[in-house]
Amino acid sequence: MANQNYYKANLRDLTFLLFEQFKLDELLGKEPFANWGRDEVLAVIEEAYGWAQKHLGPINASGDAEGCRLDNGQVRVPAGFKEAWKAMADAGWRTLAIDEKHGGQAGPFTLAMMVEEFMCGSNTSFNMYPALTQGAAEVILAFGTEAEIATYVPNMFNGTWAGTMCLTEPQAGSDVGSATTTAVKRPDGQYNIKGTKIFISGGDQDMTANIIHMVLARTPDGPPGTKGLSLFIVPKVRPDGTPNDVATAGIEHKMGIRASSTAQLVFGDNNDCIGELIGDVENKGMSQMFHLMNYARIGVGLQGLALASSAYLNALEYAKDRKQGSSIKQWKDATAPRVPIIEHPDVRRMLLDMKSKVEGIRALAVKLTMHLDRQAAIDKTGGDKLQSEYHQGQVDLLVPLIKAYASDQAFAICATAIQVYGGAGYLKDWPVEQYARDAKIFSIYEGTNHIQAMDLVGRKLMQRGGANVQAFGKDVGAFIAANKDHATLKDAVAVLGQAMEALTATGGKFAQWFGGGKMEMVPTVANRFLEMMSETVVGWLLLEQAVIAEAAGAKLAADHPDRAFYDGKRFGALHFAYNTLPGVAAKAQLIAREDRTALDIPVAAFAPG
């Protein structure tokens, strides 16, 4: 399997989303995307997909097999990674959506995220290094001084240096406010940094001459909790070329993403670690880091989508080729010919379930990124401020959904793909077992999915006085009203209406619990509510696709190649509407029951004796 590329993506689905469902054309050729047109967008998609298949796909399995190793304090990456890093920097894939004044190409964020899907899907481990580098550079760009921007950002964007984000500590885990890493101001205005960070993705590697760590630390006078944290630029090598006191104490030996070095970093073991405060402002570290984390959470959702999509497409190809058993229509005839397993009903069910969820999650991702691009266009041209706030509000609402739902489903879809392969899927001879191992981390890092659920119910539902969720409900309601009498989809649209009613009623329960002395119920059911909302959004977007596809397909000749594509959109939407969406109302009933068994069971009763 070494040096073999199994990565697959559905480019037709991407162009459908861009130009038929979400109308990127409306933004192209105008500020801030004045230099971009349809042809340029299509060329980038084709070229980036080909590039990922050539440079990243062939070293995915071999990188997984080799992993990273720590050699006298220096992490060594697997064979081929250094060459891929240089090729990536030369090609400029990381700067598609970066402003031209910083060496970027000023393209739509949506396009950059589609390219990100290729990079993640073809080699998740490799792509973590440049993705974190870009995120760290953008934090410096957003909050750093002019001197900090000039010192660090150009070399991070052009691939000369890499970057990380350092939040987690051994005693704190996801409880970032318990961080104890210290930052003491020096006479020269810089800070002495001292502490240990763990689970640092890309914490060390030998692909770049320097690594710029973004480190959360506490100043002596900082208040307790997250409010007392400040953000510091801590390079592995100082700008003057001297080594900083940053040591790699170890790397984790992981279930998946094995070619991404997850390091334990020790800052200031010799009391000589120097950092710069971002923007000369203390106690703003968490708000600054959230600028990175929001985009990182979108990125994790894309990681999940990318692996789920490739797992589905590989399973589909296998199912078309693998012959086993006779048709169910001839099940009594022992002499009947063997058929491809795609003819077996249960395999077809699994494939259609994967297809509908992959394409629905991709639609959710593009819905989110198009809100960002439309907001950017409004802000650049001095447009309607209320519309800008609407788009930002929808982004805020959808971020926890794309991170949590896409990552949960990625692992489940990869497991389903293994099931389609049968015993072969459990072997390393095929790619889906690695996809499953790589995908499991997505629900854990960048804020566990329970953190995403609590963010949704504890903050996002009531942001702007509830205006964001009301606008979302209005958008879904408008679609339902416009299509409730659709000739072929009206029954499925009715199921969406029932899901929306159940979701709205359940959202009101949280307000009751917050104010009615039942706070403990909120975290008990938050994950279930996030799943309900995610399924409602995905069902809505899939049915919207089906409406578009039916109208477009009706205009085509029977033998047109797009007819099958459009048929697939209709069947995928109907399958999700009839097999997944009804679960929204069922989950609402479970939440309304206010079941306390998980809260009331004594600890000893989990495993008595």
User: In 3D, which of 499, 496, 347 has the Cα closest to residue 419?
Assistant: 347
Helix axes 561-579, 490-515, angle to 10 degrees: 40
pLDDT band with cut points at 50, 70 and 90 for residue 516: confident
- Give the Cα separation of 429 and 65 in Å (integer): 12
- Select the more confidently predicted residue: 103 or 393: 393
Question: Are 41 and 106 spatial neighbours (Cβ–Cβ below 8 Å)?
Answer: no
Q: Which residues contact 402 (CB under 8 A, 6 or more apart)?
A: 297, 298, 301, 302, 361, 364, 365, 368
Query: 168-210: per-residue pLDDT in tens?
Result: 898 766 666 678 899 999 999 999 999 999 999 999 999 999 9
Q: Which residue has the tokens 């190649």?
A: 561
| Residues forming a β-bridge with 290 | none
End-to-end CA distance of the chain: 48
- Give the Cα separation of 374 and 387 in Å (integer): 9
**What share of the chain has pLDDT > 70, as a percent?**
98
What is the reported pLDDT for 1? 43
- Give the Cα separation of 545 and 22 in Å (integer): 10
Q: What is the largest CA-CA distance in the chain?
A: 88
What is the reported pLDDT for 338? 86
What is the reported pLDDT for 72? 93
* CB atoms closer than 10 angstroms to residue 306: 30
Predicted confidence (pLDDT) at residue 465 exceeds the cutoff of 90: yes
3-state helix, strand and coil shares in percent for the chain, rounded to the nearest 5? 60, 10, 25
Three-state SS for 485-532 is: CCCCCHHHHHHHHHHHHHHHHHHHHHHHHHHCCCCCHHHHHHHHHHHH
- Give this prediction's pTM: 0.95
Region of residue 435 (phi > 0: left; psi between -120 and 50: alpha; otherwise: beta) = alpha
CATH number, domain 162-283: 2.40.110.20
Helix axes 285-321, 385-421, angle to 10 degrees: 40
Query: In 3-state terms, what secondary structure has residue 19?
Result: helix
Query: 14-69: per-residue pLDDT in tens?
Result: 999 999 999 999 999 999 999 999 999 999 999 999 999 999 999 999 999 999 99
Positions annotated as catalytic residues are: 446
- Give the Cα separation of 267 and 276 in Å (integer): 13
Query: 350-385: per-residue pLDDT in tens?
Result: 999 999 999 999 999 999 999 999 999 999 999 899
- DSSP letter at 3 equals T
What is the DSSP secondary-structure string of 41-99?
HHHHHHHHHHHHHHHTGGGHHHHHHH--EEETTEEEPPTTHHHHHHHHHHHTGGGTTS-
| Residues forming a β-bridge with 494 | none
pLDDT band with cut points at 50, 70 and 90 for residue 570: very high
User: In 3D, which of 237, 259, 212 has the Cα closest to residue 76?
Assistant: 259
Q: Which residues contact 413 (CB under 8 A, 6 or more apart)?
A: 308, 311, 312, 354, 357, 358
- DSSP letter at 430 equals S
- DSSP letter at 18 equals I
- Give the Cα separation of 413 and 22 in Å (integer): 25
CATH number, domain 11-157: 1.10.540.10
What is the DSSP pairing of strand 191-201 with strand 182-185?
A: antiparallel
H-only helix segments in 554-596? 561-579, 582-592
Please give the mean pLDDT across all residues of the chain: 95
Which residue type does 525 have? V
Q: Where are the domains of the chain?
A: 11-157, 162-283, 463-598
- For residues 587-605, give the mean pLDDT: 95
What is the reported pLDDT for 278? 96
Query: 139-164: per-residue pLDDT in tens?
Result: 999 999 999 999 999 999 999 999 99
Which residue type does 546 have? A
- Helices (H) and strands (E) in the chain — how many of each? 19, 10
Query: 408-460: per-residue pLDDT in tens?
Result: 999 999 999 999 999 999 999 999 999 999 999 999 998 899 999 999 999 99
- For residues 287-291, give the mean pLDDT: 85
- DSSP letter at 20 equals I
Query: 241-280: per-residue pLDDT in tens?
Result: 999 999 999 999 999 999 999 999 999 999 999 999 999 8
- Give the Cα separation of 217 and 343 in Å (integer): 58
Query: In 3-state terms, what secondary structure has residue 322?
Result: coil
Residue 69 backbone dihedrals phi, psi, to 5 degrees: -140, 150
Query: 101-124: per-residue pLDDT in tens?
Result: 888 999 999 999 999 999 999 999
Long-range contacts of 92-101 (CB under 8 A, 24+ apart): 93/48, 93/51, 93/119, 94/130, 94/133, 94/134, 94/157, 94/159, 95/157, 96/44, 98/157
- DSSP letter at 225 equals G
